[in-house]
C-alpha cells in the first residue's frame, strides 16, 4: 500500500475514523499521566522552587508550536509539488492547533519569567522569534479565511508557510547561535551532564509524547472536518447551479 493512497479524501476519512478513537485515548492517558506525575510527584527545584512544574506545560507546548509549523511546511510542499487536496487541508487543520500551542508556550513562559527573571517579557531572540511565529500563525489562518477559492488559498498559504519557516527555525535554534538574551538553553540534552535530572526529565518525556499524540488526534479530526466542509461547499455550489 502506498502512502499516497491517503491523498484520496475518502480513504483518508475511513482510515482516520478507524484510528482516531485509539489516538484520542492514548493522547488523553499520556497527557494526563505526564501532567499528574509532573505536578504532584516531582520535588521543587533548589533554585526555581515549585515553578519548575511549569516546565511540563511550557516545553511540550513550545515543541509542538514549532513542530506544527514544520508539519504544515511539509504538507504545503506536498500541495505545491503534487497538488493533493488532503495535504493542503491538513496544513489548514494544523494551524489553529499550532497557534494555541504557541499561546500556551508564550503565556506559561511569561508567568514563569515574572518571578524568575523579574519581568513578564524581554525582547530576547527566542521570545521574539516565538512571538513572530505566533503572528505568522494568525496571518496564515486569516489568509485561508480571506480567499474564497480553496486552491488559490492553498497556494498562497503554502508560500506564507515557506516564509514563516524561517521563524520556526529561529524559534528552535535562536538560543544556540545568538549568544544573548535571557532564555536559557535546551532543558533536555543527550549529554547526561547538561540534561535536567531524571526526576524531572522522565515526566517531561511523557508530557511531550502526550502533547504530540494530542496534536496528531486534533489534526486528524480537523482534517476530516475540512474535507467534509469542502465537499459541503461543492454540493451547495452545484445545487445553486442546478437552480
Choice from 8, 15, 51, 195 touching another protein (CB under 8 A): 51
CA-to-CA separations, 52 to 4, 24, 115, 182, 214, in angstroms, rounded: 43, 28, 12, 17, 23
Cell 442546478 found at: 242
Per CB under 8 A, 82 contacts another protein: no
How far from the centroid of its chain's Cα atoms is residue 59's Cα? 12
End-to-end CA distance of the chain: 42
**Per CB under 8 A, which region of 66-74, 139-147, 178-186, 214-222 contacts another protein?**
214-222
For residues 48 and 202, what is the distance between their CA atoms, to the nearest angstrom?
18
Per CB under 8 A, 39 contacts another protein: yes
**Per CB under 8 A, which region of 146-154, 178-186, 187-195, 224-232 contacts another protein?**
224-232
Choice from 14, 25, 36, 114 touching another protein (CB under 8 A): 114
Per CB under 8 A, 221 contacts another protein: yes
DSSP string, 14-55: HHHHHHHHHHHHHHHHHHHHHHHHHHHSSPPBTTTBGGGGGH
Which cell numbers hold the place of 224? 476530516
Neighbours of 233 (CB within 10 A): 12
Per CB under 8 A, 25 contacts another protein: no
Task: Report yes or no: 149 and 82 within 8 Å, Cβ to Cβ.
Answer: no
Is 192 or 238 the residue whose CB approaches another protein more closely? 238
Per CB under 8 A, 222 contacts another protein: yes
Per CB under 8 A, 158 contacts another protein: no
Task: Report yes or no: 16 and 84 within 8 Å, Cβ to Cβ.
Answer: no
Tell me which residues in 164-203 interact with another protein (CB under 8 A).
none
For residues 71 and 73, what is the distance between their CA atoms, to the nearest angstrom?
5
Instruction: Look at residue 239 and give its three-state secondary structure.
Output: helix
Instruction: Look at residue 223 and give its three-state secondary structure.
Output: helix
Per CB under 8 A, 83 contacts another protein: no
Number of amino acids touching another protein (CB under 8 A): 37
Per CB under 8 A, 224 contacts another protein: yes
Is 44 or 194 the residue whose CB approaches another protein more closely? 44
Per CB under 8 A, 85 contacts another protein: no
Per CB under 8 A, 237 contacts another protein: no
The least CB distance from residue 210 to another protein, in Å, is: 10
Sites of contact with another protein (CB under 8 A): 35, 39-40, 44, 49-51, 53-54, 57-58, 61, 96-97, 100, 103-104, 107-108, 111-112, 114-115, 214, 218, 221-222, 224-225, 228-229, 231-232, 235-236, 238-239
Amino acid at each position: 500500500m502506498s502512502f499516497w493512497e491517503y491523498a484520496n479524501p475518502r480513504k483518508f476519512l475511513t482510515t482516520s475514523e478507524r484510528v482516531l478513537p485509539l489516538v484520542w485515548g492514548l493522547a488523553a492517558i499520556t497527557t494526563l499521566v505526564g501532567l499528574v506525575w509532573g505536578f504532584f510527584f516531582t520535588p521543587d527545584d533548589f533554585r526555581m522552587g515549585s515553578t519548575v512544574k511549569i516546565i511540563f506545560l511550557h516545553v511540550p507546548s513550545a515543541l509542538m508550536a514549532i513542530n506544527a509549523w514544520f508539519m504544515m511546511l511539509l504538507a504545503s510542499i506536498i500541495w505545491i509539488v503534487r497538488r493533493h487536496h488532503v495535504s493542503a487541508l491538513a496544513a489548514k487543520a494544523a494551524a489553529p492547533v499550532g497557534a494555541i500551542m504557541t499561546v500556551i508556550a508564550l503565556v506559561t513562559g511569561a508567568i514563569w519569567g515574572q518571578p524568575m527573571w523579574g519581568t513578564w517579557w524581554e525582547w530576547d531572540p527566542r521570545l521574539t522569534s516565538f512571538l513572530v511565529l505566533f503572528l505568522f500563525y494568525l496571518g496564515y489562518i486569516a489568509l485561508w479565511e480571506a480567499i474564497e477559492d480553496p486552491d488559490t488559498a492553498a497556494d498562497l498559504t503554502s508560500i506564507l508557510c515557506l516564509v514563516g519557516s524561517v521563524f520556526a527555525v529561529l524559534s528552535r535554534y535562536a538560543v544556540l547561535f545568538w549568544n544573548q538574551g535571557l532564555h536559557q538553553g535546551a532543558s533536555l540534552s543527550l549529554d547526561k551532564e547538561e540534561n535536567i535530572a531524571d526526576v524531572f526529565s522522565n515526566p517531561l518525556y511523557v508530557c511531550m509524547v502526550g502533547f504530540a499524540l494530542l496534536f496528531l488526534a486534533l489534526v486528524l479530526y480537523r482534517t476530516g472536518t475540512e474535507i467534509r466542509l469542502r465537499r459541503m461547499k461543492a454540493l451547495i455550489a452545484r445545487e445553486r447551479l442546478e437552480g
